[in-house]
Structure 1
Amino acid sequence: MSRPGLSCPGCGSSNIVDDALYSQAQLVCVDCGSVVSEGVLADDPVGVGGSDVSYSRTTAVSKKPCANLIKGLQRLKAMCRILRVHSEIEDLSNTYYNQAYQHESFIKVSLQKKEVLAGCCVLVSCRLLNWPITMGTISCLLDVDPMVVGVVYQEMVKVLHITAPIVNVTDVMEAHCQEYKISSSDVPEEFAEDSRALSKRAVALVELAADTWIVTGRKPIPIMMAAIYLAWQSLKPNKQRLKFSLDKFCQLAKVNKLRPAMKRITEMKEVLCKLGKEIPWVRVEVTLENVILQVGDILNNRYALLRRAMRTHEDALLAECQTRCEDSLNEDDTPSKILDGSSVEKREVNTEKAHQTGDEAGELCTVPEQHDDTQESQDPAPNWGKRVLFAPPCVVHAKKRRVEQPGLKDVTGDEEISDSEIDSYIRSPREAREFALTQKILSESEKS
């Protein structure tokens, strides 16, 4: 039976009939004999095989993503929602995650590394699109070690050939302040603070900490937490805020407290005290307890106060060195030495050194004298970080190196043992009898 409206894909003939030779119903072309269709023929108005067929109408089976990839994309989407990033960052993160997940470097890895990979994709996307966040924030969201996040991040950037910008601690301060829930809608009015004002004050504190070597070699998250805490207290220094400890502040702001933040708070307060003492209109003594009241004035004039504090410190060092030089001259001057021309010449040299500038104050403390090899001359040189007003933490709190004593030597076991030392090794009476018997036999053999 002929089928009108159909054409053969091979020769284009329209002479299509039913083939009754087989049990399965099928259509064949009379002219060329090719099978047009088996089973049910889908009517195509343009003609079967005469036009492009859509992917959904083909027999190809779509490859479904694996369960771990789906979980990773869900975790990535959740992190983007928590960080409140815009859609461009989320789309770029999905693209990077799909590329990195299919790469051979991340196929046969642990599930934890795949989860960390999702956080690293969010991190690099935020940095590329000027939404700075820290690696510590990602590690807190994933609840993993920051070292693991750093290793995966470096590997992912290398594999995907991404050039990510370096983010400064002041760049991420505004984004970090958003994590502290201290707005008027979250806390009472006496504890509430505007995020923009808080971020501005915290950035100024971090810049001051950077100028005084506190930021050097330190992790950024504890420094930012300390700066936000001090900024929150100093913006409205009332009794309620001044009594709030860091633990209570973290509970109020719904963030996890970091233990190093307490040390950073103490270091920042010490710097603020050194600058607060140079404010001319402050009549009271600035201490760690009341320095919060002067934070606003210190930050507004921090550059002038830094120069003034360093000048004051240099003058104090110079006065101290002059006093030491005079005391040493008074102790050495005797009636016989005063008449000596060499002592007079030495006094003139020391006097000239005492009037040098403050930059050479460190050299004035050590008068060139000839000493014998005593214990004092063998002591190591004092830490120069103690003499300057601001120094890196690794210099101020330098680790004490082990001093090798030349008198002690390593024991090799070949040393001679004296009789008195042998007696100290004997423990039991049997050993004592055996040793005495051995000594007797040796003495008799020597006599014979």
Structure 2
Amino acid sequence: MSDAVLRCPGCGSSNIVDDTFGCNPQLVCADCGNVLSEGALTNGDNPVGTDVSYSRSVAVARKPCLNLVKGLQRLKAMCRFLRVHKEIEELSHVYYTDAYQHESFIQVSLQKKEVLAGCCLLVSCRLRNWPIAMTTISCLLDVDPMTVGAIYKEMVRILHIEAPLVGITDVIEAHAQEYKISSLDVPEELAENSKDLTKRAVALVELAADAWIVTGRRPIPIMMAAIYLAWQSLKPSKHRLNLSLDKFCQVAKVNKHKPATKRITEMKGVLCKLGNEIPWLSEAVTPSNVVRQLGDILQYRFALLRKAMRTHETASQTSELEAGPTLNAFAAEQCELNAERSSDSDDRPCTVPELQSDNKDQPGPEPNWGKRVLFAPPCVIKPKKRRMERPEQLEVTGYEEISDSEIDSYIRTPREAREFALTQNLLAEREKL
């Protein structure tokens, strides 16, 4: 080591001097003035040590972003709410961490990051054969399903994930597994096979979709209503038919959703319309006995649906033809009354075409087209009442301008007419002066 020559790494000079500043010893190159550290000196052509940056020497473990921590907490809460497996929860955490740190999602709004957490859970469930609907995620996050779909597609494309497509059968089958109604959980008279229950519930949901019941509705109450009706119809005994939805949920150990009761009523209304078209039934189908005919209705639902639509169209045309003569008779009666009340200056009675033309000019209420068809969206059948716009009431000060026609309407007697004419003449003479 005594023969070693220290050289400056900047200029390569060996003229190194010891320049102690205070209590810190330093080595300085006498040729270029560069302050050297001991680790930067070279022993000939071989380095004696390596430079260590300040950030590397005193750096601590980097803490994760606060929004990332909150996003992982929301993701964990959704996993607990949906009661997914631990493997799905861990996979969704990995996807969310990778997507959050990507440049496409690092500088976006907090709402989009929250939706991103739901999309990571959705794709993890699909990859692990735990099918859930995209509308379920949108309901949990209270976000528009279109927004969830757009972010989901972007996330799958960025992370290069090949997610399988999930159909309604898979979703209902996964939902039906939550109902504890197997022979191991309930008595034999209440037990039902999961495959048969899913098959009938899927057919019932498809029929509800054709009747506009599914449109704009949350999926879980619809699936609960379909499973309840399917369970009753597979073995329509008195014990099952008398079991309400509340007691059924208690037996199946699931939480009841309040909208499911309305969905059951709407589905029974559709089933009654189709059940009345069954040719071999002698009695009318009502909501109280329609569950017994549910199997035949679903088996021939396409033929019954076409037949019910033709019957409804025929009934609508018949009612319009019956209403035509009634309207003409009413118009003729009004003409006779107007003829009796006509003044001496015009004693010509009005005719039916004139009365009809006057009625066309009068604005009437807009017809509800949902009542003219057999099935229509619920928002059309029962539209929300719009608030009537009240006209603005102007304050009367007494200095408003009065038109001539309005003044003439106030004149009642010839004396008032003469006084008004004299007043106008006096005003005209004063203006001339």
Q: Which residue pairs with 1:320 in the alignment?
A: 319
Cα deviations across residues 42-62 of structure 1 (Å, max 9, x unaligned)?
A: xxxxxxxxxxxxxxxxx9999
Q: Which residue pairs with 2:39 in the alignment?
A: none
Deviation at 1:401, TM superposition (A): 3.5
Q: Which residue pairs with 1:175 in the alignment?
A: 174
Deviation at 1:157, TM superposition (A): 5.3
Q: 5+ residue gaps in structure 1?
A: 1-29, 37-58, 338-366, 419-448
Pick closer, same or farther for the CA change 1:329–1:227 going to 2, 3 Å: same
| One-letter amino acid of the structure 2 residue matched with residue 83 of structure 1 | V
Pick closer, same or farther for the CA change 1:328–1:66 going to 2, 3 Å: closer
**Does residue 381 of structure 1 match 2:366?**
yes
Pick closer, same or farther for the CA change 1:84–1:150 going to 2, 3 Å: farther
Deviation at 1:386, TM superposition (A): 0.8
Pick closer, same or farther for the CA change 1:249–1:64 going to 2, 3 Å: farther
Cα RMSD after superposing both structures = 4.7
Asked if 1 retains the 8 angstrom alpha-carbon contact of 2:229 and 2:291, the reply is yes
Deviation at 1:249, TM superposition (A): 1.6
Q: Within 5 A, what are the aligned runs for 1:203-352? A: 203-328=202-327
Cα deviations across residues 337-379 of structure 1 (Å, max 9, x unaligned)?
A: 9xxxxxxxxxxxxxxxxxxxxxxxxxxxxx9884364699432
Q: 5+ residue gaps in structure 2?
A: 1-42, 50-56, 337-351, 401-433
Pick closer, same or farther for the CA change 1:117–1:63 going to 2, 3 Å: farther
Cα deviations across residues 247-286 of structure 1 (Å, max 9, x unaligned)?
A: 2222222222222211111110000001111111111221
Q: Which residue pairs with 2:143 in the alignment?
A: 147
Cα deviations across residues 184-209 of structure 1 (Å, max 9, x unaligned)?
A: 22222221111111110010001101
Pick closer, same or farther for the CA change 1:67–1:278 going to 2, 3 Å: same
Q: Which residue pairs with 1:83 in the alignment?
A: 84
Q: Which residue pairs with 1:126 in the alignment?
A: 125
Alpha-carbon distance between aligned partners in 2 of 1:332 and 1:304, rounded to the nearest angstrom: 43
Cα deviations across residues 99-137 of structure 1 (Å, max 9, x unaligned)?
A: 034347569998x99887655322123346765312465
Alpha-carbon distance between aligned partners in 2 of 1:208 and 1:282, rounded to the nearest angstrom: 21
TM-score, with normalisation over the residues of structure 1? 0.59
Asked if 2 retains the 8 angstrom alpha-carbon contact of 1:127 and 1:167, the reply is yes
Alpha-carbon distance between aligned partners in 2 of 1:75 and 1:413, rounded to the nearest angstrom: 61
1:397 corresponds, among 370, 382, 387, to 382
Pick closer, same or farther for the CA change 1:79–1:326 going to 2, 3 Å: same
Alpha-carbon distance between aligned partners in 2 of 1:331 and 1:373, rounded to the nearest angstrom: 14
Alpha-carbon distance between aligned partners in 2 of 1:60 and 1:403, rounded to the nearest angstrom: 71
Alpha-carbon distance between aligned partners in 2 of 1:138 and 1:200, rounded to the nearest angstrom: 24
Asked if 2 retains the 8 angstrom alpha-carbon contact of 1:198 and 1:231, the reply is yes
| One-letter amino acid of the structure 1 residue matched with residue 365 of structure 2 | P
Alpha-carbon distance between aligned partners in 1 of 2:82 and 2:328, rounded to the nearest angstrom: 74
Q: Which residue pairs with 1:16 in the alignment?
A: none
Pick closer, same or farther for the CA change 1:265–1:35 going to 2, 3 Å: same
Q: Which residue pairs with 2:393 in the alignment?
A: 411
Asked if 1 retains the 8 angstrom alpha-carbon contact of 2:126 and 2:166, the reply is yes
Cα deviations across residues 267-311 of structure 1 (Å, max 9, x unaligned)?
A: 100000011111111112211111111100100010111111111
Cα deviations across residues 65-122 of structure 1 (Å, max 9, x unaligned)?
A: 869989949949966994359x6x6775354123034347569998x99887655322
Alpha-carbon distance between aligned partners in 1 of 2:165 and 2:353, rounded to the nearest angstrom: 49
TM-score, with normalisation over the residues of structure 2? 0.61
% identical equivalent positions: 55
Asked if 2 retains the 8 angstrom alpha-carbon contact of 1:76 and 1:118, the reply is no
Asked if 1 retains the 8 angstrom alpha-carbon contact of 2:169 and 2:198, the reply is no
Structure 1 range deviating more: 375-384 or 285-294: 375-384
**Does residue 99 of structure 1 match 2:87?**
no
Equivalent pairs counted in the alignment come to 332
Deviation at 1:318, TM superposition (A): 2.2
Q: Within 5 A, what are the aligned runs for 1:21-40? A: none
Alpha-carbon distance between aligned partners in 2 of 1:400 and 1:298, rounded to the nearest angstrom: 35
Asked if 1 retains the 8 angstrom alpha-carbon contact of 2:119 and 2:151, the reply is no
Pick closer, same or farther for the CA change 1:333–1:77 going to 2, 3 Å: closer
| One-letter amino acid of the structure 1 residue matched with residue 369 of structure 2 | W
Deviation at 1:314, TM superposition (A): 1.7
Alpha-carbon distance between aligned partners in 1 of 2:356 and 2:144, rounded to the nearest angstrom: 55
Alpha-carbon distance between aligned partners in 2 of 1:417 and 1:244, rounded to the nearest angstrom: 74
